Amino acid sequence: MSVETNLTAAQRDDLRAVAAMIIPASTEYNVPGADDAVIQADMLATLGRDAPAVSAALDHLARLAGQPLARLDPARRDAVAKEFRASGGPAAATLVRVVLQCYYRDDRVLRSLGLELRPPFPKGYELEQGDWSLLDPIKARPSTLRRTS
């Protein structure tokens, strides 16, 4: 579903900046931030039907910031981000979701989480049986099905 995103250069800069605010890089967990070039490229390549909402969200963000987000001092940037999330409605929610869905399918991130780098199909997963003796007290109950007469 790769399509031309039509985001402006300024919008792309703000997208990268806000993505880094949502998920910054971490040396502790050995993961990139959501502003990582590969993750950003994934976002732009797969925006698809979300492009209008993300563009609208970035316009809203630009209005709140008054200048490129990255140029704001940290305190002002945090304030703008809070206001953006609180007042941005469905468009802001879409932008955040796009950031998260691309971040949490990145190989480096999944590896850090201990998850396999593959889709569910065709390998699937093992599901343990669990302790069926837990059901014994319920099996011992008399029928409680409500009578109709």
Residues that bind other proteins (CB under 8 A): 1, 21-24, 26, 28-29, 31, 46, 48-50, 81, 85, 93, 96-97, 100-105, 110, 113, 115, 118-132, 134-135, 137-139, 141-148
Contact assessment for residue 84 and residue 92, using Cβ atoms and an 8 Å cutoff: yes
Q: Which long-range contacts (CB under 8 A, 24 or more apart) does 16-21 make?
A: 16/40, 16/70, 17/68, 17/69, 17/70, 17/77, 18/61, 18/69, 18/81, 18/84, 18/95, 18/99, 19/43, 19/99, 19/103, 21/77, 21/78, 21/81
Contact assessment for residue 76 and residue 29, using Cβ atoms and an 8 Å cutoff: no
Q: How far is the CB of 126 from other proteins (least distance, A)?
A: 7
Q: How far is the CB of 35 from other proteins (least distance, A)?
A: 13
Q: How far is the CB of 2 from other proteins (least distance, A)?
A: 11
Nearer Cβ to other proteins (8/30): 30
Contact assessment for residue 67 and residue 80, using Cβ atoms and an 8 Å cutoff: no
Q: How far is the CB of 71 from other proteins (least distance, A)?
A: 19
Nearer Cβ to other proteins (48/66): 48
Nearer Cβ to other proteins (9/126): 126
Nearer Cβ to other proteins (1/9): 1
